[in-house]
Amino acid sequence: MPFVIDAPAKINLTLEILSRRKDGYHTLRSLMVPIAFGDSLRVEPSERFAFSCDDAALANGENLAARAVRALALSQPHAVHLAKRTPTQAGLGGGSSDAAAILRAAMEGAFGMLGDRDYLAIARTLGSDVPFFLCGSGALVEGTGERVTAVGALPDWHLLIVKPPVAVSTRDAYARLDATSRPTRPRAGSASLRALEALQRGDFDALEALLTNDFHDPIASATPEVALAVEALLAAGATNALLCGSGSAVFSLAPEASTIAALAERLLVPEGYRQYRTWFAPTPGWRAA
């Protein structure tokens, strides 16, 4: 039978880029959370594999969702349609979440009995953010994205995302970061580890003080549209404004929906800047919310 699966976007509450390896990959430490906003995929059996998308530019075989289906090597072909809402090249992880949604559906038996599969290994071949989306919760992500420690239940916090009319290439963002000198980041005392503890306690003030992203300053300095989004959020009364991943979207976080609603009403940005009001995705956890 046809089924529909959700693919939530994410934000990075912290993003520490630690080093560049000889193979070109970067090690990192990041506290990531899924948000209640994102794509959805409709999947149904078909005579042959087919992939389509609301965004014609993404309707090709290199789309991560299409690659995820192929990686499963299903005996029964399926047709997949991606309803695309998460903006691309925004730092929100839309493509990775789409791929993970396909893998999660397979793990839960939506494609039938597939036998033993190493879903983490498959996820790693698709992208460094895909393993995070498999955990179904916020998580501390380390290594090159393969080490994922789930947070558990998330607090009911809210955010406003502003997407400028500009794309930021992840490759270019890393190249810009590699051109700067950065201090060593020992794990002991890491902002990400302290932010993880604050998030699990539901301590917003402590978490807000730890919000950090190594890409924020280089990308804002090099991209006027991103800098404008940051400035507009702060001018509207936001107490924080941080780049999403490697950009180009920017978010502001608050513990109350009313704070975000008021912020959105005061926000003044030029035409072409998109706004999304959302909240942390509800997740299962190992403790009471």
Please give the positions annotated as active site. 10, 129
- Identify the bridge partners of residue 29 per DSSP, sorted by sequence position: 16, 142
Write out the two tokens for 73: 């090597």
Say which residue the tokens 């790693």 belong to.
124
Show Cβ contacts of residue 168 under 8 Å, excluding neighbours closer than 6 positions: 89, 90, 91, 219, 223, 226, 246, 247, 248
Amino acid identity for residue 97 in this structure: S
Beta strands in the chain (DSSP E): 3-20, 26-45, 50-53, 78-83, 138-143, 147-152, 158-163, 212-213, 242-243, 250-254, 274-279
Write out the two tokens for 1: 């039978």
